[in-house]
């Protein structure tokens, strides 16, 4: 039988290992997804919203690194490394469909809101392998944190229109749709309603995807709190 005598251990540094070998990771290319996300950033024509989005997604390297590796939740949906990026891209793609199908939305506001809606999760949850709630996450939650982060971006841009700022923040605040689901306000803008439905759709179908992947019988699936 093989025996090992271990004489020394050290904490593995970043780059010493492949994270996907040891923790749940998105099946999709992180860099490919981020490039696709930047494609939506480039489609935002309003200069104020464009600068606000670029404040994080183009200029803030520390944020970009966290955003690429973070999960979207501790357990419910997209609870894997790269999950936050994957979820945000999926939500933005659904919003793109709404824009093209119905013709009633402010595209720039909806895209910016989709990109921003879950940025607070980069501070609500700790990085993998822990992927647990931080003190800020326990005390504030990702919606409040996300609005604070949006405010930081808005304040960095001279003469940012107050009405537009409030509309963007409302979309973040209302993206869970109902008070009992954690949103302090229900959607009061078409863009906020679209974002809520895109967020809910992706969360539910990703959860189904994960359930079906783990399902190994022909029995009914049983209870899941999203359904």
Average pLDDT of adjacent 10-residue blocks, the chain of 227 residues: 86 73 80 97 98 98 93 68 94 98 98 97 84 88 96 98 98 92 93 97 88 70 65
Q: Residue with structure tokens 């944020």?
A: 63
* Distance of alpha carbon 11 from alpha carbon 169, whole angstroms: 41
User: 125: which strand partners?
Assistant: 133
CATH number of the domain that residue 114 is part of: 1.10.3210
* Distance of alpha carbon 120 from alpha carbon 140, whole angstroms: 10
Q: How far is CA 5 from CA 11, 12, 20, 179, in A?
A: 18, 19, 27, 57
8 A C-beta contact, residue 45 and residue 108: yes
Q: Residue with structure tokens 């492949």?
A: 18
* Distance of alpha carbon 15 from alpha carbon 145, whole angstroms: 30
Residue at 61 is within a domain: yes
Q: Residue with structure tokens 């923040």?
A: 169
Identify the pLDDT of residue 1: 77
8 A C-beta contact, residue 203 and residue 77: yes
Q: How far is CA 89 from CA 83, 93, 97, 222, in A?
A: 10, 6, 13, 29
Residue at 125 is within a domain: yes
Residue at 12 is within a domain: no
* Distance of alpha carbon 88 from alpha carbon 198, whole angstroms: 10
Q: How many separate domains does the chain show? A: 1
> Which tokens go with 82?
């790269």
- With vertex at residue 12, the alpha carbon angle to CA 85 and CA 73, rounded to the nearest 5 degrees, is 25
Identify the pLDDT of residue 188: 98
Sorted by sequence, the CB contacts under 8 Å of residue 185 that are 6+ apart come out as 170, 173, 174
Q: Within 10 Å of residue 149's Cβ, how many Cβ atoms?
A: 21
Residue at 225 is within a domain: no
Residue at 112 is within a domain: yes
Helix (H, G, I), strand (E, B) or coil at 104: coil
8 A C-beta contact, residue 160 and residue 174: no
8 A C-beta contact, residue 71 and residue 131: yes
Range of the domain at 176: 24-208
């Amino acid at each position: 039988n093989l025996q090992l005598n271990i004489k020394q251990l050290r904490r593995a540094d970043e780059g010493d290992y492949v994270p996907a070998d040891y923790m749940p990771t998105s099946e999709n290319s992180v860099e490919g997804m981020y490039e696709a996300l930047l494609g939506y950033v480039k489609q935002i024509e309003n200069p104020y919203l464009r600068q606000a989005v670029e404040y994080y997604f183009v200029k803030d390297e520390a944020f970009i690194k966290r955003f690429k590796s973070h999960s979207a939740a501790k357990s419910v949906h997209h609870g894997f490394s790269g999950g936050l990026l994957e979820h945000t891209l999926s939500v933005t793609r659904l919003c793109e469909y709404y824009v093209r199908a119905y013709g009633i939305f402010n595209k720039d506001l909806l895209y910016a809101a989709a990109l921003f809606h879950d940025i607070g999760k980069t501070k609500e949850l700790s990085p993998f392998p822990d992927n647990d709630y931080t003190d800020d996450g326990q005390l504030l939650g990702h919606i409040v944190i996300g609005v604070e982060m949006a405010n930081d971006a808005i304040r960095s841009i001279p003469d940012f229109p107050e009405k537009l700022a409030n509309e963007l923040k409302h979309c973040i605040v209302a993206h869970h749709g109902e008070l009992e689901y954690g949103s302090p306000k229900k959607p009061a803008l078409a863009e906020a309603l679209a974002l809520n439905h895109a967020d809910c759709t992706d969360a539910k179908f990703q959860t189904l995807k994960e359930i079906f992947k783990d399902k190994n019988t022909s029995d009914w699936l049983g209870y899941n709190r999203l359904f």
